[in-house]
A and B are shown apart, each in its own frame.
Chain A
Amino acid sequence: MKIHEYQAKRIFVEYGIPIPDGDVASTPEEVREITSRIGKKVVIKAQIHAGGRGKGGGVKTANSPQEAEKVAREIIGMNLITHQTGPEGKRVKRVLVEEALDVEKELYLGIVIDRSRDQEQPVIMASEAGGMEIEEVASKSPEKIIKVGANPVVSFSSFQGRKLAYGLGMDKSIVSKASKIIEMLYRIFMEKDATLIEINPFVLTRGGDLLALDAKINFDDDGLYRHPEIRELRDLDEEEPLEIEASNTGVNYIKLDGNVGCMVNGAGLAMATMDLIKLAGGAPANFLDVGGGATAERIEKAFRILTSDKNVKAILVNIFGGILRCDRVASGVIEG
């Protein structure tokens, strides 16, 4: 599950990670009030789940409360299109208003689970090339990314934090501060069952302060039952409507890029079906598991979900009848 930047920053604050002074707003009037409280130049940032907001015109600065209100009028309600939203874009409902900082250096900090054989553990990544897309840094100049694996059994050690901080070319005076922030990021990652945390950019100001200028946290859906406070942060407007409908129906549906719609019972058989479609030279349009105890009604709904994807050009129904009997599947298909 993804959350918004302002929500991720609230979690940062709980863990003592410094963020710029600011607040979230959903009207231009609120933006003006927040700006006059901050009392200096501000940055107004559209709150949508996709990245690339700045390039799409969703991040702007303002020097006065009046200007902030005017900028907010442009951003709130706009349809923001970035490389991650798809061509249809996302409507902006809220903005984050923050003090503009005097930035000396833009850095990158991130934690992901590295599934490669030699790692198989959370990996903390840091780079001096902050402020740009980390995927681009990784492909063009991988040497600029420092990685440190943190074994969940022995946990994170402060020497690893120092190693990353020194690797970022930090002055001795701020290394322990940076190391503490990295340690807190690791704690969030473990304690909240995150799958990804990114601060890009993580900035060093001219005054020598370190702050998270941006914040991104993704959570493991299967861990959400342990974190009801995080589940509440879910924003349904940001999710694939077909996937929401599917989860309300009790169907496991993941939209993919291909054109063969699949309806299968059982996650394993669904995976095998997608593999075989690939092997036969096609590409699956979705993963769809109708589950074991599916009713004819649920199958009918699953059919509607799968056929409302406009990319679907052909359908493969693959059912191994067990608890879910074949005649029940057939009536679901016919009624659908």
Chain B
Amino acid sequence: MNLNLPMVVRLQGTNVEEGRKLLEGSNLKFEVAEGLFEAAQKVVALL
């Protein structure tokens, strides 16, 4: 996988905390968003 691509992750719902912890514990670089439109705006800003 191309790790150089900027990424925004939005997780909600079942086991959201466990999921976020896993992502934070990895060495992947990404931004986190809570809301749907917020996620879209963040990803467009990364282009």
Contact = CB atoms under 8 A, between A and B. Distances in A.
A316 B28 contact: no
A260 B5 contact: no
Given A316-B40, A330-B11, A321 B23 contact: no
B18 A260 contact: no
B11 A326 contact: yes
A312 B19 CA distance: 24
B28 A333 contact: yes
B39 to A, nearest CB: 6
Contacts of B15: 321, 325-328
A280 B37 contact: yes
Contact of A327 (B2, B5, B18, B26): B18
A326 B10 contact: no
Contacts of B6: 313-315
Contacts of B11: 317, 319, 321, 326, 329-330
Nearest to A277: B40
Interface residues of B, number: 31
B5 A307 contact: yes
Contacts of B30: 317
Nearest to A264: B10
A279 interface: yes
Contacts of B39: 273, 276, 316, 318
Contacts of A324: 14
A318 B19 CA distance: 12
Contact of B9 (A260, A328, A333): A333
Given A259-B47, A313-B47, A316-B10, A280 B22 contact: no
Contact of B19 (A261, A322, A330): A330
A326 B40 contact: no
A276 B10 CA distance: 13
A153 interface: no
A315 to B, nearest CB: 4
Contact of B28 (A307, A326, A334): A334
A303 interface: yes
A279 B10 contact: no
Contacts of B7: 314-317
15 contacts: A276-B40, A313-B46, A314-B8, A314-B47, A316-B8, A316-B40, A317-B8, A321-B11, A321-B12, A321-B19, A326-B12, A326-B13, A327-B15, A327-B19, A329-B11
4 smallest beta-carbon distances between A and B, as pairs: A326-B19, A321-B13, A282-B44, A330-B22
Interface of B: 1-2, 5-16, 18-20, 22-23, 26, 28, 30, 36-37, 39-41, 43-44, 46-47
